[in-house]
Chain A
Amino acid sequence: MNVLVRSRHFWLVLAAGAAVGVFGGLLSFWGNPQNSGICVSCFIENSSGALGLHSNQRMQYLRPELIGFVLGSLLCAVGFREFASRGGSAPLARLVAGIFLIVGSAVFIGCPIKLFLRLGAGDLSALSGVFGLVAGVWLGLQSLARGIDLGRSHSERGGGGLWVPTLFVLLLLFLLVRPAFIAFSERGSAAQHAPLLLSLGAGLLLGALAQRSRFCITGSLRDSLLMGRRSPLFWGFIAFLAGVVATSLLTGQFRYGLYGQPGAHVDYVWSFLGMLLVGWLSTLIGGCPFRQLVKAGEGDTDAGLVVIGMLLGGGLVQTWGIAATAAGVELPGKVAVLTGLAFIILLSLFSRERAPG
């Protein structure tokens, strides 16, 4: 522990975890939907809608936080000479994984960050998602330990790592200029947002901190399961939880209970399975949806393809009725989660390096 406390990286992880937790609470206090100060999957669904990938008029807004995550990471990676175009590890599988990350999150109603924002704000219905996420990460670890390997990434020529950050620069332009072909909701949850500069600023800061610290929710759970208290990410996760609960209490957003919680349902089995899907996939592809955005910002084209997959997924979950609502999970959502689990199992079977004879 003493060695850990003396390392600069430890304090960086702690700061990143606390900042994600605090801004997660503050952004909903400043205007984002309740318990959704930061929710990568909700923001992706909003952004897909704004780009015309679905027609739910209540879910269309280019969320500045997402743009901030990618560009904050890009600026930080360039500043610290860590930007490098790399990729080539099962690209198409990662694109599909991106779609299913959003499927799992949409069925639960929230990404892993929002899962803990919900729990920290007193929403006990999120507990089934916590069990699902931990089980998913554990399954991912078991899969990796048994030889599942998506292949190595390698450095890429042609500046491939710049394309996803360029897309997000374009999205920033669209957000500022607001051309007619970009849709912005005037009602519904996408019409609720914190002031643009605050959202963008928070996104840039969190993207930069996450790039330097490698902070990630599923990564924290993975390292906690593997190394316990010796892992800096374990302490980053504790700081994140403390930040969430403190901000929720201090801003009067804490609302303890099982029923009637904002953006939540009580289909526990499907919440569990949705988050199991997200946890398992995230462990196999090296990070939760938030981490994928940050990695895409530092030039990782594999993560960039996950991000593109997530944007496609954002359109599909709304168009096909996969996303759950407070009323629960409908048949398309249940079918999509089971299809996602079948996808991981097949991917594991095909990507496994087995011991000879």
Chain B
Amino acid sequence: MPRDRFDQILLAALAVTLTGLGLLLLVPGASTGQVASPALSRQVEKEMLSQARLSLLERRYAPVHRLLDQGELSAAMLKLEELSRDLPGEVHSNLLRGDVLWRMGQLDKALTQFALAVRGNPDYVDAASPLNQRDLIEAALTQGLPQVRDRLRSQPGSRVLEQVLRDGYYLQSRLAGGCE
């Protein structure tokens, strides 16, 4: 294939470059090993951030969980209101509010809160996530959606109920999976 001397020089140079590349990648100790690569640092940082978030949520919302375990639903709701004033954008309070409302039997309001939580953080419907709350949301949907549909039949055109129904369908769609 090489036609002249210049072709031969180019092929030889290519062979040297590829050999160098191979040595660099395959031979242990070729890298200085003193500083972690930026990509590796980013991965570690990502993992640390995720763990820190989880532990912050656990610590911060521990009083609410305690009240829920004791069955003191109104007190849990008041505590949630107090906590959300400090961190208004944190959707974990929506999830817990949904839980409290579901236990209180206010299914339509619970669905709205769950939808807000999942929109803000889809980890709540991710089976692989430590934040996974699929069972809770599924249970609320199974009970809540038929009720909302029945009430909408008796109050056709109710915008509030229509929005709750949309929230319910949204949650159903997220629980069903798909690529997004």
Taking Cβ atoms with an 8 Å cutoff, the residues of A that contact B are 33-36, 39, 42, 46, 57-58, 109-110, 114, 179-181, 183, 186-189, 191-192, 255, 259-266, 323-327
Give A78 Cβ to nearest chain B Cβ, in Å: 17
Of the candidates B171, B174, B178, the one whose C-beta lies within 8 Å of that of A109 is: B178
A58 touches B172 (CB 8 A): no
Contact with A along B113-138 (1 / 0, CB 8 A): 00000010011001011000000000
Contact of A189 with B174 at beta-carbon distance under 8 Å, contacts A57-B46, A260-B169, A266-B169 already known: no
| Per-position 1/0 for B37-69, Cβ under 8 A of A | 111100100100000000000000000000000
| Among B43, B169, B171, B177, contact of A189 (Cβ-Cβ < 8 Å) | B177
Tell me, in angstroms, the Cα distance from A179 to B174 when the chains sit together.
31
Q: SS class of chain B's interface: helix, strand, loop or mixed?
A: helix
What residues of chain B lie closer than 8 Å to A57, measured between beta carbons? 46
A323 to B179, CA, bound (A): 11
Complex CA–CA separation, A252 to B41 (angstroms): 43
Q: List residues of B whose CB falls within 8 A of some A CB.
A: 37-40, 43, 46, 119, 122-123, 126, 128-129, 168-180
Instruction: State whether B180 touches A326 (Cβ < 8 A).
Output: yes
**SS class of chain A's interface: helix, strand, loop or mixed?**
loop
Cα(A33)–Cα(B40), bound, Å: 28
- The docked-state distance in angstroms from the alpha carbon of A266 to that of B167 is 12
Enumerate chain B residues within 8 angstroms of A327, measured Cβ to Cβ: 119, 170
B126 touches A188 (CB 8 A): yes
Q: Which of B43, B170, B178 touches A263 (beta carbons < 8 Å)?
A: B178
By a CB distance below 8 angstroms, the chain B residues around A264 are: 173, 178
Known: A260-B169, A266-B169, A326-B170. A191 touches B176 (CB 8 A): no
B38: which A residues are within 8 A, CB to CB? 181
- The answer to whether A263 and B123 touch across the interface, beta carbons within 8 angstroms, is no
Which residues from A are CB-within-8-Å of B172? 259-260
Contact status A180-B177, CB under 8 Å: no
Give B80 Cβ to nearest chain A Cβ, in Å: 23
Identify 17 new A-B residue pairs, CB closer than 8 A, beyond the known A180-B39, A262-B177: A33-B177, A34-B176, A36-B178, A42-B179, A58-B126, A110-B179, A181-B37, A187-B123, A259-B169, A259-B172, A260-B175, A260-B176, A261-B178, A263-B173, A263-B179, A326-B178, A327-B119
